[in-house]
Amino acid sequence: METDNRGIIVVDDEPHIRDLVANVLSDSGYLNVFTANDGLDCIKVIAEKGESIYLVIIDQVMSRMSGIETIDYLTKVHPFVVGFIMISGHIDIIEYEKQVAKLDNRSGIVIDFVAKPFDMESIIAETARSLALIDSKRKKQAGQIMELLQRQLEYISNKMLNIDNKLDRLLSSGKGIKGFLNKIGHDVIVAIVLGLFVLLFLYLGIDEFIKGIISKVNH
């Protein structure tokens, strides 16, 4: 049996359904299946696991936070593409579709609705289909991120070239600062400026930098 490392969260406030779905998925080869009692617990899990979560199978009617409310929140804060399969036995399909249409799907995608009671074969089939779609969207997102990152690096490179040219003009200007600049050397000055860029990058943090890139891609 093939195994799959992509993370899945099963969210339901009915323990027997939650555990049944999670166990069946685990038995089907999905190695990273997590469970959550409701929307708030789901948010905690996805905050901890991050981009390793690809799919959330979630009940609509729950006590503390409904499925739609959870999806709405996660699509606003989670930078990577995540799929959702809604499961419920108590839902107005027309009203559900209206609510889904209002969601801010900057990163998340509502993939399907599965009515309770359901057979496990349909859950397994829908899980496989959903993960394939999410994979495709994440690959596209990754390509966009790399393209935007390259633009950012080109921008920094052009800025450094501009600084380099200004230093050349300053060193040959004959002004009072010339002696000082000649003493410490052109390459040292460039290295200092580059070091300041690096320190700024480290201060902002690579995590925040990448999140900023992803945010631009998602918009």
Q: How far apart are CA 67 and CA 40, in angstroms?
A: 10
pTM for this structure?
A: 0.66
Cα-based distances in Å from 210 to 40, 138, 171, 199: 26, 15, 37, 16
| % residues pLDDT > 90 (the chain) | 19
Locate the domains of the chain by residue range.
7-141, 143-218
Q: How far apart are CA 215 and CA 80, in angstroms?
A: 9
Q: Given this model, what pLDDT does residue 179 score?
A: 53
pLDDT in tens, 136-163: 888 877 776 677 767 776 776 676 667 6
201 has a pLDDT exceeding 70: no
Rounded mean pLDDT of 79-90? 81
Q: How far apart are CA 131 and CA 4, in angstroms?
A: 10
CATH number of 7-141, picked from 3.40.50.300, 1.10.357.20, 3.40.50.2300, 3.40.50.620: 3.40.50.2300
> What are the b/e assignments for 192-207, b being 16+ CB within 10 Å?
eeeeeeeeeeeeeeee
Averaged confidence pLDDT in the chain: 75
Rounded mean pLDDT of 153-180? 62
